[in-house]
Amino acid sequence: MNRHLISAADLSRDDALRVLDTADELARISDRPIKKLPTLRGRTVVNLFFEDSTRTRISFEAAAKRLSADVINFSAKGSSVAKGESLKDTALTLEAMGADAVVIRHNASGAPHRLAEWVRGSVINAGDGAHEHPTQALLDAFTIRRRFGRSSDGQGPGGQAGRGGTLDGLRVTIVGDILHSRVARSNVILLHTLGAEVLLVAPPTLLPVAVDTWPCSIDYDLDAALPKSDVVMMLRIQLERMNAAFFPSVREYSRRYGLDCARMAQLPERAIVMHPGPMNRGVEIAAGVADSPRSTVVEQVANGVSVRMAVLYLLLGGAEGDQ
Amino acid sequence: MAHAQPAGRSGSGKDTTARPVSGDGKIVLEQAEIARALTRIGHEIIERTRGARQVILLGIPTRGVPLAARLAAGIQQVEGHPVPHGSLDITMYRDDLRLRPARALGRTQVPPDGIDGQIVVLVDDVLYSGRTVRAALDALNDLGRPRAVQLAVLVDRGHRELPIRPDYVGKNLPTAQHEVVRVLLTEVDGEDAVLLGVAGDATGGRSR
């Protein structure tokens, strides 16, 4: 693995499987009375959040703490950033404090990439603008793999953890605001790496310019896509980013691209419904769908901690430098 | 696991896969001798724990796990009751994590009733520096509070770096630190044997 995790494209197929297999083992820790491992004792993880976030920040914090790392939370509100400090100066401050890893969320695409040039520790992208959110893609892949029974549940010879499978042949449909979604971009890259066939469904106004270069296919008709989907991933309509007329009204969007119970009935029997959260119930996903047994929303949150533990362990747990 | 490696060599540890025995080291224990040693250890466990009623055998991956399973089967044959066995991965508790790249995790599988109040027998193939066992004791600590912890190893090769001693030993094997002991087991390697070689000629096998 690279020293940083900035894009889902940093992960080869082997790297990605390694993260998922490690996460499979780490997930078992949460069933134990003592949910803690000493592995990252004495290491410092800084959560650097320039954008609001609850679940990602808490998830990273829980992951780092379960591995016994020291966690410093930094949010732009109430910090020197509010006084106009630049990203670089903030980075140098963190560097002086000896951060072994920086988990960064920033509203500008590419901020983690720049940060990686300034700090010695590992940089983990927790969402940058409309660019990428690789740990979300990893936890989605992890959730899919578990739901379809391809994770490493068996035990190999000699108690070596079994190797889990890829997502070969699974059809994943990602629906909604692809244009503003870092989750969609990271998922397209990672799911493709893992062998899934990805289909994007969105109104033409909500697709990014170069989407035809992405390793996926595109459709505009949700009803046609549903019967041939094993996984449907609904994206949040980011009302805070709807600064132009991307669609006539929220209600019209919901009619054409929202997943309601009638649409869910068109899915194949084993299909699952995913959502990265936070959900706009009644807009992109109906409450009946979000609370149905097909929905993995709650699992995704729980899996997020295991996957982030795996990422932190693989980036920080070993020797400095790389294999 | 284990192991302080011979100087200057960062060994290949637990995550190695099967390799054929072809002239890398001389055979110290053959299949029949391994079987005999395990039978004897089984009997000793029964004797020391008065019937092995409250015993849980936990193997340390990789090769401790099939050894624990074999011991459990042997004890069951003699005593007529099943003996719970499982695995205890110690990767996250190692003291040399920062000396090597992050490695793959093994599986921890503890019998469903837990280890509280039981006699846990840790099972490993080779006892060398004692560092693996120290890590295993830490790992156990996070799983519960056994009544007692004992240690069974197939080969004790000496050179302890910590105050740790085994309760049950298959064979005491005096070695020099530059030598490498490799244990092969059918479940993992396709055959049973214990080999003694010199560091450097065992390309990637289980060197310790």
Domain that holds residue B53: 32-175
Q: Are residues A84 and A101 in the same domain?
A: yes
If residue A215 lies in a helix (H) or strand (E), which one and from where to where? Answer: none
Q: Are residues A145 and A127 in the same domain?
A: no
User: Is B13 part of a structural domain of the chain?
Assistant: no
Domain that holds residue A167: 134-295
pLDDT class for A243, splitting at 50, 70, 90?
A: low
- Which regions of chain B are under pLDDT 70? 1-24, 200-208
User: Is A31 part of a structural domain of the chain?
Assistant: yes
Q: How confident is the prediction for chain A on average, in pLDDT?
A: 91
**A302-305: Cβ within 8 A, 24+ apart:** A302/A30, A303/A23, A303/A27, A303/A139, A303/A142, A303/A143, A303/A146, A304/A55, A304/A56, A304/A59, A304/A135, A304/A136, A304/A139, A305/A30, A305/A59, A305/A62, A305/A63, A305/A66
Q: Are residues A158 and A234 in the same domain?
A: yes
User: Is A2 part of a structural domain of the chain?
Assistant: no
Q: Are residues A36 and A55 in the same domain?
A: yes
User: Is A159 part of a structural domain of the chain?
Assistant: yes
User: Is B185 part of a structural domain of the chain?
Assistant: no
User: Is B137 part of a structural domain of the chain?
Assistant: yes
- ipTM > 0.95? no
> Count of domains in chain A?
2
B112 in A contact zone (CB under 8 Å): no
Q: Are residues A178 and A306 in the same domain?
A: no
B140 in A contact zone (CB under 8 Å): no
Q: Name every residue in A having a CB less than 8 A away from some CB of B.
A: 1, 18, 21-22, 25-26, 28, 32-34, 36-39, 155, 157-162, 313-320, 322-323
For the ranges A77-86, A135-144, A209-218, A279-288, which has the lowest average pLDDT? A77-86
Name the residue with higher pLDDT: A320 or A178: A178
| Most B CBs within 10 Å, among A21, A160, A163, A313, to test the B interface | A160
What's the confidence (pLDDT) of residue B23?
55
pLDDT class for A33, splitting at 50, 70, 90?
A: confident
Q: Are residues A93 and A127 in the same domain?
A: yes
Say how far apart CA A226 and CA A276 lie, in whole Å: 19
What's the confidence (pLDDT) of residue A323?
38
What's the confidence (pLDDT) of residue A150?
82
Distance of residue A56 Cα from the nearest chain B Cα, in angstroms: 24
Q: Are residues A174 and A47 in the same domain?
A: no
The domain spanning residue B132 has which CATH number?
3.40.50.2020
User: Is A169 part of a structural domain of the chain?
Assistant: yes
B146 in A contact zone (CB under 8 Å): no
**Which chain B residue lies closest to A68 (C-alpha atoms)?**
B92
Asked if A111 and A126 count as a contact pair (C-beta separation under 8 A), the reply is no
What's the confidence (pLDDT) of residue B20?
47
User: Is A1 part of a structural domain of the chain?
Assistant: no
User: Is B66 part of a structural domain of the chain?
Assistant: yes
For the ranges A43-57, A134-148, B114-128, which has the lowest average pLDDT? A43-57
User: Is B49 part of a structural domain of the chain?
Assistant: yes
pLDDT class for A162, splitting at 50, 70, 90?
A: low
Instruction: Look at residue A224 and tell me whether its pLDDT is greater than 90.
Output: yes
> Count of domains in chain B?
1
User: Is B157 part of a structural domain of the chain?
Assistant: yes
